[in-house]
Amino acid sequence: MVRDFEQYSAWRQGVVSALKNYQAWVAGASLTDAATEQRIVRNLARLEDDKLSVAFVAEFSRGKSELINAIFFAEYGQRILPSAAGRTTMCPTELLWDPAFPPSIRLLPIETRADNLSTSDYREQPAAWTVLPLNLDAGAEMQEAFKQVSKTRYVPVEEAKRYGLYDEDDPDMPATLDEHGQVEISHWRHAIINFPHPLLKQGLVILDTPGLNAIGTEPELTLNLIPNAHAVLFILAADTGVTKSDIEVWRNHIGAGAGRLVVLNKIDSMWDELRSEEDVNAEIERQQANVAHVLSLEPGQVFPVSAQKALVGKINHDVELQARSRLHALEGALFNELIPAKKEIVRKQLSDELQALNTAQLGMLNGRIRGIVEQLHELKSLRGKNQSVVAHMMRRIDVEKKEFDASLFKLQATRAVFTRLSTELYTCMGMDIVRDDIELVREEMQRSRFFTGVREAVRGYFERTRANLDAAEFKTVEITEMMGVMYRRFSSEHGLTLALPMPFSLEPYRDELASIETIYSKTFGTATLLTTSRVTLMEKFFDTIASRVRGCFKSANNDAEAWLKVIMAPLEAQIRQHKDQLKHRLASIQRIHGATDSLEQKIDAFERSQQELEAQKARLNELAGAISIAINAEFVALDAAA
């Protein structure tokens, strides 16, 4: 497992190295511009910040934290996460490594649930978090700090209701009150453990969730963390099987799909020295088949394990106990799905980007080569010609230059339309309109505390957001078509080698918006009656919906901005290059006409320039090929290792 992550990390670093070599060389060869550099930098940042997230979901006391310890932290020689009977994880807890922070636990107070901000919003507000340093050299002290994730406190019912943590219409809630009529709630809303474990340092992010009830009350889990996890392990207990709450969470929040695995934990509870090994295995298989049937899965998609025995076996190097725990089968399935799926996503993105990059750079080089070839042809045609022929050629190049300058006026008109359409694009999807729409929904919610009014406000919000994205998409199509006309005109009239401009689509953001709306509809859309506490919960959900949509539109704006820079850049670069070539051609002929330069010396100089450009073209293809090899090489290495 550690080796799998090391190979994946090595693959990423190999691609980073090849891309940086490409970046340095094109800059040195004057084959880059602001748009190209931005594109390379964005891809490097994407590779450097690449993460693999695994979420663990279970009811309390299913051995979830112990399973995390067994899979990821056994080599540390002790439990990293606290594991005991009852509730050990009270708030969503992320384990990761961010070198920008010291080893620490960052804790978001539960009181923040009273505000109109999601957990994601608070990530940008460091002052809102309580930070506890981790002393890596003091094991007992560090484990004591980890216990913060299970810390609770008792509050009055009204305070719990304000946080959306008490449903007065739930008949089971009064039984949870203590003798003073208070409610036990988590002390913290969210925890981030910044821990320099080797797996975490290589980009793994582990999400340890509270019990299933919390999944319904913490929108960040429902809308962000669980849906976006690359793998989700849904943990059941072998002695209880599938409960009603298990089924609801599986259907509403997880479901079958890539990277979604079901774990039947605590099979050691079925071990019995008074029964044969065959009988015990048969009983485990029956429970495995029953779980698969209830969740509409194949039995092979349910993994019976004993996390506790696996952890003990790994720490004590007990190979027999490790084998009996059956953890190896789960680990194999997890990493065989997790890493290849993530690699394929990154590989596809990089391959598309590389093709676009290399096409642009090759276009610039081919334009330079074409200019040299044309000038060579002109110069060689002057061999043995008199001054009048040279003068005629000067006049012809001057006419060509004036015609090209006249074409630039058309480009100025195109730039004006381009600027107008770009402004209209940002009007449709700018962050101001996103902010105003969110404020409108909150006002509508405050005016109508009834379920129908609140639901209508959210429904209208999704409709308006979709309409804004559709209008923005229409503008991107207009821009693409207009630039396509201009590209074809300059290519046909002046021989510029230009590929058609790269199209841009907002489809990924429409898909993201649809997924957010689907989760919201599953949670609230089918109810015909909503209690006061459920209205409060819906408002909490909207806070997270608003945060997700803000993030979605922010990414869309960033991508649109990058695209708008890129779409005009190749044309402008080739225009500058063609203009310089015309200027140099005219100057060369003028010098020859004035007998200030030797014709043969000029021809020799251009032939050397042509050879240098051809060598640059070969080097560019070599560097692009090195990136392509780096992107695909690791797949072969992992397959061979497997």
- Choose the weakest-confidence range: 196-205, 279-288, 376-385, 474-483: 376-385
Split at pLDDT 50, 70, 90, the class of 287 is very high
Give the integer Cα–Cα distance in Å for 16 and 49. Answer: 11
Residue 263 confidence (pLDDT) above 90: yes
Residue 227 confidence (pLDDT) above 60: yes
Residue 601 tokens, joined: 């010396």
Residue 589 confidence (pLDDT) above 80: no
Split at pLDDT 50, 70, 90, the class of 256 is confident
- CA 237 from chain centre, in angstroms, equals 33
Rounded mean pLDDT, 353-368:
78
The residue ranking higher by pLDDT, 31 or 331, is 331
Residue 438 confidence (pLDDT) above 70: yes
Burial class of residue 642, CB neighbours in 10 A (0-12, 13-18, 19+): exposed
Split at pLDDT 50, 70, 90, the class of 597 is low
Residue 449 confidence (pLDDT) above 80: no
Rounded mean pLDDT, 119-129:
91
The residue ranking higher by pLDDT, 302 or 372, is 302
Split at pLDDT 50, 70, 90, the class of 85 is low
- The model's pLDDT over 600-624, given as tens digits with 9 standing for 90+, comes to 777 888 888 889 989 999 999 999 9
Sign of CA dihedral 294, 300, 301, 304: positive
Rounded mean pLDDT, 323-338:
86
Split at pLDDT 50, 70, 90, the class of 636 is very low
Q: Which residues contact 480 (CB under 8 A, 6 or more apart)?
A: 501, 503, 504, 567
- Residue 308: the pLDDT is 92
Residue 56 confidence (pLDDT) above 80: yes
Percent of the chain with pLDDT over 90: 25
Q: HEC profile for 592-610?
A: HHCCCCCHHHHHHHHHHHH
- The model's pLDDT over 58-72, given as tens digits with 9 standing for 90+, comes to 887 788 888 988 988
- Choose the weakest-confidence range: 76-90, 284-298, 328-342, 545-559: 76-90
Phi, psi of 476 (to 5 degrees): -65, -35
Sign of CA dihedral 27, 31, 33, 35: negative
- Residue 638: the pLDDT is 40
- Choose the weakest-confidence range: 224-238, 279-293, 494-508: 494-508
Split at pLDDT 50, 70, 90, the class of 174 is confident
Whole-number mean pLDDT of the chain?
82
Residue 181 confidence (pLDDT) above 80: yes
User: CA torsion 373→376→380→386, rounded to 10°?
Assistant: 130
- Choose the weakest-confidence range: 301-305, 374-378, 440-444, 620-624: 374-378
> What does pTM read for this prediction?
0.74
- Residue 216: the pLDDT is 57
Split at pLDDT 50, 70, 90, the class of 191 is very high
Give the integer Cα–Cα distance in Å for 455 and 475. Answer: 31
Highest-confidence segment of 7-11, 174-178, 189-193: 189-193
Q: Which residues contact 93 (CB under 8 A, 6 or more apart)?
A: 81, 149, 190, 191, 192, 193, 207, 208, 209
- Closest among 637, 451, 437 to 532, alpha carbons compared: 451
At position 436, the amino acid (one-letter code) is D
- Choose the weakest-confidence range: 270-274, 275-279, 626-630: 270-274
Give the integer Cα–Cα distance in Å for 91 and 107. Answer: 10
- Residue 639: the pLDDT is 41
- The model's pLDDT over 474-508, given as tens digits with 9 standing for 90+, comes to 999 998 888 888 777 777 666 666 666 667 889 98
Report yes or no: 11 and 633 within 8 Å, Cβ to Cβ. yes
- Residue 496: the pLDDT is 65
Split at pLDDT 50, 70, 90, the class of 89 is low
Rounded mean pLDDT, 131-142:
82
Residue 145 confidence (pLDDT) above 50: yes
- Residue 450: the pLDDT is 62
* Pairing outcome for strands 104-109 and 302-304: unpaired
Report yes or no: 365 and 617 within 8 Å, Cβ to Cβ. yes
- Residue 24: the pLDDT is 92
Report yes or no: 451 and 534 within 8 Å, Cβ to Cβ. yes
- Choose the weakest-confidence range: 151-165, 312-326, 437-451: 437-451
Alpha helices in 430-531 (DSSP H): 431-447, 451-494, 507-520
* Pairing outcome for strands 188-194 and 182-186: unpaired
Three-state SS at 187: coil
Residue 276 confidence (pLDDT) above 50: yes
- The model's pLDDT over 509-539, given as tens digits with 9 standing for 90+, comes to 999 999 889 888 877 765 554 556 667 777 8
Give the integer Cα–Cα distance in Å for 625 and 629. Answer: 6
Highest-confidence segment of 67-81, 345-359, 470-484: 470-484
Rounded mean pLDDT, 366-393:
74
- Residue 150: the pLDDT is 83
- Residue 526: the pLDDT is 57
- Choose the weakest-confidence range: 188-202, 358-372, 535-549: 358-372
Specify the residue for token string 């090759």. 362
Residue 391 tokens, joined: 């003068």
